[in-house]
Protein backbone atom coordinates (compact mmCIF):
# COMPACT_ATOMS: atom_id res chain seq x y z
CA UNK A 1 0.00 0.00 0.00
CA UNK A 2 1.21 3.51 -0.75
CA UNK A 3 0.96 6.41 1.63
CA UNK A 4 -1.53 9.10 0.78
CA UNK A 5 -0.73 12.78 1.29
CA UNK A 6 -2.92 12.76 4.40
CA UNK A 7 -1.16 9.75 5.89
CA UNK A 8 2.30 11.27 5.59
CA UNK A 9 0.99 14.56 6.98
CA UNK A 10 -0.58 12.69 9.90
CA UNK A 11 2.66 10.96 10.82
CA UNK A 12 4.80 13.99 10.03
CA UNK A 13 2.68 16.31 12.07
CA UNK A 14 2.55 13.98 15.04
CA UNK A 15 6.09 12.62 15.13
CA UNK A 16 8.20 15.08 13.20
CA UNK A 17 8.32 17.93 15.64
CA UNK A 18 5.89 18.69 18.39
CA UNK A 19 6.09 20.62 21.61
CA UNK A 20 4.22 21.47 24.75
CA UNK A 21 3.58 25.06 25.69
CA UNK A 22 5.61 25.94 28.75
CA UNK A 23 7.72 28.53 30.46
CA UNK A 24 10.90 29.97 29.03
CA UNK A 25 14.11 28.09 29.73
CA UNK A 26 17.82 28.75 29.53
CA UNK A 27 19.29 28.42 26.07
CA UNK A 28 21.13 25.17 25.46
CA UNK A 29 24.67 25.80 24.23
CA UNK A 30 25.86 24.14 21.00
CA UNK A 31 29.25 23.37 22.58
CA UNK A 32 27.51 21.21 25.19
CA UNK A 33 25.84 18.99 22.60
CA UNK A 34 27.60 15.70 21.88
CA UNK A 35 26.13 12.92 19.68
CA UNK A 36 24.88 9.89 21.57
CA UNK A 37 24.90 7.72 18.45
CA UNK A 38 27.86 6.68 16.37
CA UNK A 39 28.38 4.80 13.09
CA UNK A 40 26.46 1.56 12.71
CA UNK A 41 24.25 2.14 15.73
CA UNK A 42 21.51 -0.39 16.39
CA UNK A 43 18.80 -0.66 19.05
CA UNK A 44 20.22 -2.08 22.26
CA UNK A 45 17.31 -2.90 24.61
CA UNK A 46 13.82 -4.29 24.33
CA UNK A 47 11.76 -1.09 24.23
CA UNK A 48 14.10 0.48 21.69
CA UNK A 49 14.09 -2.68 19.60
CA UNK A 50 10.30 -2.66 19.64
CA UNK A 51 10.21 0.95 18.48
CA UNK A 52 12.74 0.22 15.73
CA UNK A 53 10.70 -2.75 14.53
CA UNK A 54 7.65 -0.56 14.15
CA UNK A 55 9.58 2.16 12.35
CA UNK A 56 11.14 -0.31 9.94
CA UNK A 57 7.61 -1.18 8.85
CA UNK A 58 6.84 2.51 8.43
CA UNK A 59 9.95 2.97 6.28
CA UNK A 60 8.78 0.15 4.03
CA UNK A 61 5.55 2.08 3.49
CA UNK A 62 7.36 5.34 2.87
CA UNK A 63 9.91 3.91 0.44
CA UNK A 64 7.12 2.49 -1.73
CA UNK A 65 4.88 5.55 -1.63
CA UNK A 66 3.72 7.04 -4.92
CA UNK A 67 4.12 10.47 -3.32
CA UNK A 68 7.89 10.23 -3.35
CA UNK A 69 9.80 12.30 -5.90
CA UNK A 70 12.11 9.68 -7.33
CA UNK A 71 14.63 11.86 -9.14
CA UNK A 72 18.03 10.12 -8.89
CA UNK A 73 20.06 13.33 -9.14
CA UNK A 74 17.97 15.20 -6.58
CA UNK A 75 17.92 12.19 -4.26
CA UNK A 76 21.71 11.98 -4.50
CA UNK A 77 21.96 15.69 -3.76
CA UNK A 78 19.83 15.36 -0.61
CA UNK A 79 21.79 12.30 0.41
CA UNK A 80 24.98 14.33 0.09
CA UNK A 81 23.51 17.03 2.33
CA UNK A 82 22.56 14.68 5.14
CA UNK A 83 25.98 13.11 4.72
CA UNK A 84 27.59 16.46 5.47
CA UNK A 85 25.43 17.51 8.43
CA UNK A 86 24.39 14.13 9.84
CA UNK A 87 27.28 13.87 12.25
CA UNK A 88 28.97 10.56 13.11
CA UNK A 89 25.92 8.51 12.09
CA UNK A 90 25.51 10.21 8.71
CA UNK A 91 26.27 7.09 6.69
CA UNK A 92 23.40 5.28 8.39
CA UNK A 93 20.81 7.97 7.57
CA UNK A 94 18.40 7.79 4.66
CA UNK A 95 16.36 10.60 3.18
CA UNK A 96 13.11 10.56 1.19
CA UNK A 97 11.49 13.48 -0.63
CA UNK A 98 7.68 13.58 -0.60
CA UNK A 99 5.70 15.76 -3.00
CA UNK A 100 3.70 17.62 -0.37
CA UNK A 101 3.62 21.45 -0.58
CA UNK A 102 4.11 22.00 3.14
CA UNK A 103 7.11 23.15 5.14
CA UNK A 104 8.07 20.05 7.11
CA UNK A 105 10.82 17.54 7.72
CA UNK A 106 10.53 14.39 9.82
CA UNK A 107 13.35 12.32 11.33
CA UNK A 108 12.27 8.86 12.43
CA UNK A 109 13.88 6.88 15.29
CA UNK A 110 15.75 4.52 12.97
CA UNK A 111 17.57 7.27 11.10
CA UNK A 112 15.45 7.87 8.03
CA UNK A 113 14.05 11.27 7.22
CA UNK A 114 11.16 12.49 5.09
CA UNK A 115 11.54 15.94 3.55
CA UNK A 116 8.44 17.67 2.18
CA UNK A 117 8.75 19.39 -1.18
CA UNK A 118 7.32 22.63 0.21
CA UNK A 119 10.41 22.96 2.37
CA UNK A 120 12.71 22.84 -0.68
CA UNK A 121 10.74 25.61 -2.35
CA UNK A 122 11.11 27.98 0.60
CA UNK A 123 14.84 27.65 1.06
CA UNK A 124 16.90 30.38 -0.61
CA UNK A 125 20.15 28.46 -0.47
CA UNK A 126 21.73 25.17 0.49
CA UNK A 127 22.73 26.38 3.96
CA UNK A 128 19.09 26.94 4.92
CA UNK A 129 18.07 23.46 3.83
CA UNK A 130 21.13 21.96 5.50
CA UNK A 131 20.11 23.72 8.71
CA UNK A 132 16.70 22.02 8.76
CA UNK A 133 18.29 18.66 8.01
CA UNK A 134 20.91 19.24 10.71
CA UNK A 135 18.14 19.97 13.23
CA UNK A 136 16.39 16.72 12.34
CA UNK A 137 19.71 14.86 12.51
CA UNK A 138 20.11 16.31 15.99
CA UNK A 139 16.92 14.54 17.09
CA UNK A 140 18.39 11.22 15.95
CA UNK A 141 21.89 11.80 17.31
CA UNK A 142 20.55 12.77 20.72
CA UNK A 143 18.14 9.79 20.76
CA UNK A 144 15.17 12.07 21.37
CA UNK A 145 12.54 9.65 20.17
CA UNK A 146 13.69 7.01 22.63
CA UNK A 147 14.10 9.49 25.47
CA UNK A 148 10.58 10.82 24.96
CA UNK A 149 9.19 7.30 24.56
CA UNK A 150 10.68 6.29 27.92
CA UNK A 151 9.51 9.47 29.62
CA UNK A 152 5.95 8.84 28.51
CA UNK A 153 6.16 5.19 29.47
CA UNK A 154 6.84 6.23 33.06
CA UNK A 155 3.48 8.01 33.04
CA UNK A 156 1.33 5.62 31.06
CA UNK A 157 1.48 2.19 29.51
CA UNK A 158 2.30 3.21 25.96
CA UNK A 159 2.48 -0.40 24.84
CA UNK A 160 -1.23 -0.81 25.52
CA UNK A 161 -1.80 1.43 22.51
CA UNK A 162 0.34 -0.85 20.36
CA UNK A 163 -1.98 -3.72 21.25
CA UNK A 164 -5.06 -2.06 19.83
CA UNK A 165 -5.04 -4.33 16.82
CA UNK A 166 -2.90 -2.32 14.44
CA UNK A 167 0.74 -1.35 14.19
CA UNK A 168 2.04 1.92 12.87
CA UNK A 169 2.14 0.70 9.31
CA UNK A 170 -1.38 -0.64 9.60
CA UNK A 171 -2.49 2.67 11.02
CA UNK A 172 -1.00 4.50 8.10
CA UNK A 173 -2.76 2.21 5.69
CA UNK A 174 -5.92 2.95 7.65
CA UNK A 175 -5.51 6.64 6.93
CA UNK A 176 -5.32 5.85 3.24
CA UNK A 177 -8.45 3.71 3.46
CA UNK A 178 -10.31 6.28 5.49
CA UNK A 179 -10.52 4.09 8.59
CA UNK A 180 -11.03 6.68 11.33
CA UNK A 181 -10.54 4.12 14.09
CA UNK A 182 -7.05 3.27 12.91
CA UNK A 183 -6.31 6.95 12.37
CA UNK A 184 -7.26 7.69 15.98
CA UNK A 185 -5.02 4.89 17.20
CA UNK A 186 -2.10 6.11 15.14
CA UNK A 187 -2.57 9.66 16.34
CA UNK A 188 -2.73 8.50 19.96
CA UNK A 189 0.50 6.54 19.68
CA UNK A 190 2.45 9.27 17.95
CA UNK A 191 1.09 12.04 20.15
CA UNK A 192 2.83 10.30 23.04
CA UNK A 193 6.16 10.83 21.28
CA UNK A 194 5.92 14.61 21.26
CA UNK A 195 9.20 16.37 21.90
CA UNK A 196 9.26 18.74 24.82
CA UNK A 197 10.96 22.12 24.66
CA UNK A 198 14.19 20.82 26.09
CA UNK A 199 14.53 18.24 23.33
CA UNK A 200 13.69 20.80 20.66
CA UNK A 201 16.26 23.19 22.07
CA UNK A 202 18.82 20.38 22.09
CA UNK A 203 18.08 19.61 18.44
CA UNK A 204 18.56 23.27 17.54
CA UNK A 205 21.85 23.45 19.43
CA UNK A 206 23.07 20.15 18.01
CA UNK A 207 21.93 21.16 14.54
CA UNK A 208 23.63 24.53 14.50
CA UNK A 209 26.85 22.90 15.65
CA UNK A 210 26.65 20.33 12.85
CA UNK A 211 25.89 23.11 10.37
CA UNK A 212 28.85 25.28 11.35
CA UNK A 213 31.26 22.35 11.55
CA UNK A 214 30.30 21.43 7.97
CA UNK A 215 31.27 24.93 6.81
CA UNK A 216 27.76 26.31 6.29
CA UNK A 217 26.74 29.77 7.43
CA UNK A 218 25.29 29.05 10.91
CA UNK A 219 23.06 32.12 10.64
CA UNK A 220 21.03 30.27 7.98
CA UNK A 221 18.87 28.54 10.60
CA UNK A 222 17.60 31.77 12.12
CA UNK A 223 17.06 33.21 8.64
CA UNK A 224 14.78 30.28 7.81
CA UNK A 225 12.55 30.97 10.80
CA UNK A 226 12.55 34.69 10.10
CA UNK A 227 11.17 33.94 6.63
CA UNK A 228 8.54 31.58 7.99
CA UNK A 229 7.29 34.02 10.60
CA UNK A 230 6.84 36.68 7.92
CA UNK A 231 5.12 34.22 5.58
CA UNK A 232 2.63 33.10 8.19
CA UNK A 233 1.87 36.69 9.12
CA UNK A 234 1.19 37.64 5.50
CA UNK A 235 -0.93 34.53 4.97
CA UNK A 236 -3.01 35.43 8.01
CA UNK A 237 -3.34 39.03 6.85
CA UNK A 238 -4.81 38.00 3.49
CA UNK A 239 -7.19 35.63 5.25
CA UNK A 240 -8.05 38.36 7.77
CA UNK A 241 -7.32 36.05 10.65
CA UNK A 242 -4.75 35.71 13.39
CA UNK A 243 -1.69 33.61 12.75
CA UNK A 244 -3.21 30.21 13.49
CA UNK A 245 -2.63 27.91 10.50
CA UNK A 246 0.98 26.99 11.00
CA UNK A 247 3.28 24.69 9.10
CA UNK A 248 3.48 21.30 10.80
CA UNK A 249 7.16 21.72 11.64
CA UNK A 250 6.79 25.38 12.53
CA UNK A 251 3.76 25.15 14.76
CA UNK A 252 5.09 22.39 16.95
CA UNK A 253 8.39 23.94 17.97
CA UNK A 254 9.02 26.48 20.71
CA UNK A 255 7.83 30.06 20.20
CA UNK A 256 9.15 30.99 16.75
CA UNK A 257 10.30 34.45 17.79
CA UNK A 258 12.22 33.23 20.83
CA UNK A 259 13.63 30.33 18.88
CA UNK A 260 14.87 32.66 16.16
CA UNK A 261 16.58 34.85 18.76
CA UNK A 262 18.29 31.86 20.38
CA UNK A 263 19.49 30.61 17.01
CA UNK A 264 21.05 33.98 16.21
CA UNK A 265 22.98 33.95 19.48
CA UNK A 266 24.11 30.35 18.94
CA UNK A 267 25.22 31.16 15.40
CA UNK A 268 27.41 33.98 16.67
CA UNK A 269 28.94 31.61 19.23
CA UNK A 270 29.70 28.96 16.62
CA UNK A 271 31.25 31.29 14.06
CA UNK A 272 35.04 31.10 14.31
CA UNK A 273 36.92 34.34 13.62
CA UNK A 274 38.62 34.30 10.24
CA UNK A 275 36.75 31.23 8.97
CA UNK A 276 34.66 31.56 5.83
CA UNK A 277 31.17 30.08 5.93
CA UNK A 278 29.18 29.42 2.76
CA UNK A 279 25.52 29.50 1.78
CA UNK A 280 25.99 27.73 -1.59
CA UNK A 281 23.11 29.48 -3.29
CA UNK A 282 24.24 28.74 -6.87
CA UNK A 283 24.68 25.04 -6.14
CA UNK A 284 21.24 24.89 -4.58
CA UNK A 285 19.56 26.62 -7.52
CA UNK A 286 21.26 24.22 -9.92
CA UNK A 287 20.12 21.19 -7.93
CA UNK A 288 16.50 22.39 -7.89
CA UNK A 289 16.32 23.84 -11.40
CA UNK A 290 14.35 20.98 -12.95
CA UNK A 291 11.83 20.66 -10.11
CA UNK A 292 11.32 24.32 -9.21
CA UNK A 293 8.39 24.84 -11.65
CA UNK A 294 6.57 21.90 -10.08
CA UNK A 295 7.22 23.19 -6.57
CA UNK A 296 5.89 26.63 -7.45
CA UNK A 297 2.86 25.15 -9.20
CA UNK A 298 2.00 23.02 -6.16
CA UNK A 299 2.33 26.00 -3.84
CA UNK A 300 0.21 28.37 -5.91
CA UNK A 301 -2.54 25.79 -6.28
CA UNK A 302 -2.99 25.78 -2.51
CA UNK A 303 -4.77 29.10 -3.15
CA UNK A 304 -3.15 30.76 -0.16
CA UNK A 305 -2.27 34.06 -1.85
CA UNK A 306 -0.52 35.60 1.14
CA UNK A 307 1.83 32.67 1.61
CA UNK A 308 2.40 32.22 -2.12
CA UNK A 309 3.12 35.90 -2.66
CA UNK A 310 5.63 35.85 0.18
CA UNK A 311 7.36 32.75 -1.19
CA UNK A 312 7.64 34.23 -4.69
CA UNK A 313 8.87 37.59 -3.44
CA UNK A 314 11.36 35.95 -1.09
CA UNK A 315 12.84 33.91 -3.92
CA UNK A 316 12.88 37.04 -6.06
CA UNK A 317 15.23 38.75 -3.60
CA UNK A 318 17.93 36.87 -5.46
CA UNK A 319 16.61 38.20 -8.78
CA UNK A 320 13.33 38.12 -10.70
CA UNK A 321 12.97 35.79 -13.66
CA UNK A 322 10.24 34.66 -16.03
CA UNK A 323 9.23 31.70 -13.90
CA UNK A 324 8.68 33.77 -10.75
CA UNK A 325 6.79 36.50 -12.61
CA UNK A 326 4.54 33.88 -14.22
CA UNK A 327 3.61 32.37 -10.87
CA UNK A 328 3.09 35.84 -9.49
CA UNK A 329 0.36 36.15 -12.13
CA UNK A 330 -1.00 32.69 -11.30
CA UNK A 331 -1.52 33.63 -7.66
CA UNK A 332 -4.09 36.26 -8.57
CA UNK A 333 -5.68 34.41 -11.48
CA UNK A 334 -6.45 31.46 -9.21
CA UNK A 335 -7.84 33.62 -6.42
CA UNK A 336 -9.99 35.41 -9.02
CA UNK A 337 -11.47 38.13 -6.84
CA UNK A 338 -13.17 40.85 -8.88
CA UNK A 339 -13.37 43.02 -5.80
CA UNK A 340 -9.60 42.92 -5.32
CA UNK A 341 -8.76 43.45 -9.00
CA UNK A 342 -7.09 40.07 -9.35
CA UNK A 343 -7.48 39.84 -13.12
CA UNK A 344 -5.52 43.04 -13.64
CA UNK A 345 -2.82 41.87 -11.23
CA UNK A 346 -2.60 38.54 -13.04
CA UNK A 347 -2.31 40.30 -16.40
CA UNK A 348 0.54 42.39 -15.06
CA UNK A 349 2.35 39.28 -13.87
CA UNK A 350 2.08 37.55 -17.24
CA UNK A 351 3.13 40.69 -19.11
CA UNK A 352 6.19 40.97 -16.89
CA UNK A 353 7.00 37.26 -17.25
CA UNK A 354 7.22 37.30 -21.06
CA UNK A 355 9.90 39.97 -20.87
CA UNK A 356 12.27 37.27 -19.66
CA UNK A 357 13.82 34.67 -21.94
CA UNK A 358 13.06 31.90 -19.44
CA UNK A 359 9.32 32.58 -19.31
CA UNK A 360 7.45 29.23 -19.43
CA UNK A 361 5.19 28.64 -22.45
CA UNK A 362 2.07 29.04 -20.30
CA UNK A 363 3.07 32.61 -19.57
CA UNK A 364 2.64 33.41 -23.28
CA UNK A 365 -0.73 31.66 -23.42
CA UNK A 366 -2.15 33.53 -20.44
CA UNK A 367 -0.61 36.76 -21.64
CA UNK A 368 -2.46 36.24 -24.90
CA UNK A 369 -5.75 35.51 -23.14
CA UNK A 370 -5.44 38.66 -21.04
CA UNK A 371 -4.63 40.74 -24.12
CA UNK A 372 -7.64 39.26 -25.90
CA UNK A 373 -9.89 40.26 -22.99
CA UNK A 374 -8.52 43.78 -23.26
CA UNK A 375 -9.48 43.92 -26.94
CA UNK A 376 -5.86 43.89 -28.10
CA UNK A 377 -6.32 41.25 -30.81
CA UNK A 378 -3.10 41.64 -32.82
CA UNK A 379 -0.93 41.53 -29.70
CA UNK A 380 -2.88 38.55 -28.40
CA UNK A 381 -2.35 36.63 -31.64
CA UNK A 382 1.38 37.35 -31.47
CA UNK A 383 1.48 36.00 -27.91
CA UNK A 384 -0.45 32.88 -28.96
CA UNK A 385 1.93 32.35 -31.86
CA UNK A 386 4.86 32.45 -29.46
CA UNK A 387 3.11 29.96 -27.18
CA UNK A 388 2.58 27.53 -30.06
CA UNK A 389 6.18 27.96 -31.10
CA UNK A 390 7.37 27.00 -27.62
CA UNK A 391 4.77 24.24 -27.07
CA UNK A 392 3.57 23.01 -30.49
CA UNK A 393 2.24 19.74 -29.07
CA UNK A 394 0.42 21.25 -26.10
CA UNK A 395 -2.98 19.62 -25.43
CA UNK A 396 -4.75 22.94 -25.95
CA UNK A 397 -2.86 23.85 -29.14
CA UNK A 398 -5.95 23.35 -31.40
CA UNK A 399 -8.02 25.62 -29.15
CA UNK A 400 -5.32 28.30 -29.15
CA UNK A 401 -5.21 28.20 -32.95
CA UNK A 402 -8.98 28.75 -33.02
CA UNK A 403 -8.59 31.77 -30.74
CA UNK A 404 -5.98 33.15 -33.13
CA UNK A 405 -8.43 32.88 -36.04
CA UNK A 406 -11.27 34.38 -34.06
Q: Residue 356 in contact with residue 322, Cβ under 8 Å?
A: yes
The answer, yes or no, to whether residue 11 has pLDDT greater than 70, is no
78 and 192 inside one domain = yes
- Phi then psi for residue 107, to 5 deg, are -105, 125
Q: Which residue blocks in 163-219 are alpha helix, DSSP H?
A: 168-177, 180-191, 197-213
The answer to whether position 282 is within a domain reads no
The answer to whether position 230 is within a domain reads yes
137 and 258 inside one domain = yes
Q: What is the pLDDT of residue 155?
A: 60
Mean pLDDT taken over the chain: 83
51 and 163 inside one domain = yes
Q: What is the pLDDT of residue 189?
A: 44
137 and 29 inside one domain = yes
The answer to whether position 164 is within a domain reads yes
The answer to whether position 284 is within a domain reads no
27 and 134 inside one domain = yes
Model confidence band, residue 282 (pLDDT cutoffs 50, 70, 90): very high
Summarised one tens digit per residue, pLDDT across range 359-371 is 999 999 999 999 9
Residue 98: enclosing H or E segment and its boundaries?
strand 94-98
Angstrom CA distances, 402 to 396, 397, 399, stand at 10, 9, 5
306 and 373 inside one domain = yes
Model confidence band, residue 150 (pLDDT cutoffs 50, 70, 90): confident
Task: List b or e across 261-293, with b for residues whose CB sees 16 or more CB atoms inside 10 angstroms.
Answer: ebbbebbebbeeeeeebebbeeebeebbeebbe
Cα separation, 103 vs 100, whole angstroms? 9
Cα separation, 350 vs 347, whole angstroms? 5
What is the three-class DSSP state of 106? strand
State the total domains in the chain.
2
Summarised one tens digit per residue, pLDDT across range 186-209 is 444 445 556 778 888 999 999 999
Q: What is the pLDDT of residue 183?
A: 36
Q: Residue 311 in contact with residue 288, Cβ under 8 Å?
A: no
Q: Residue 142 in contact with residue 206, Cβ under 8 Å?
A: yes
The answer to whether position 285 is within a domain reads no
Q: What's the domain range around 326?
A: 290-405
User: Half-sphere exposure (CA, 13 Å, Cβ side) for 348?
Assistant: 8
Mean pLDDT, residues 322-350 taken together: 95
Instruction: Enter the DSSP assignment of 317.
Output: G
235 and 328 inside one domain = no
The answer, yes or no, to whether residue 8 has pLDDT greater than 60, is no
Q: Sign of the CA dihedral 123, 128, 134, 135?
A: negative
Summarised one tens digit per residue, pLDDT across range 211-255 is 999 999 999 999 998 998 889 888 888 877 665 544 444 444 557
The answer, yes or no, to whether residue 129 has pLDDT greater than 60, is yes
The answer to whether position 55 is within a domain reads yes
171 and 303 inside one domain = no
Q: Which CATH number belongs to the domain containing residue 352 in this structure?
A: 1.25.40.10
Instruction: Enter the DSSP assignment of 194.
Output: -
- Name which of 390, 325, 316 is nearest 356 in CA terms: 325
∠ CA 357-363-368, nearest 5°, is 115
Amino acid sequence: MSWSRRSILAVGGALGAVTAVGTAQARILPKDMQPLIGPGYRAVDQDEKGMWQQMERVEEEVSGSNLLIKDPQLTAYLGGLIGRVGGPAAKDMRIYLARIPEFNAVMFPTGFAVIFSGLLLRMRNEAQLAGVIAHESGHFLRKHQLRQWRDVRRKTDIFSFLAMGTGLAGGVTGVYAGDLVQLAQLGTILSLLKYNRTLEAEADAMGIRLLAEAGYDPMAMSQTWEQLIAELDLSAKYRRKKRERDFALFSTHPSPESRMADLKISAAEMAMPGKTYEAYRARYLTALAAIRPTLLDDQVKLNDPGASQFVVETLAKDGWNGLLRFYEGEIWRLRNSNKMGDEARAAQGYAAAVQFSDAPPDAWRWHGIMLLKQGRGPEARAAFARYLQLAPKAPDAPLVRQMMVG
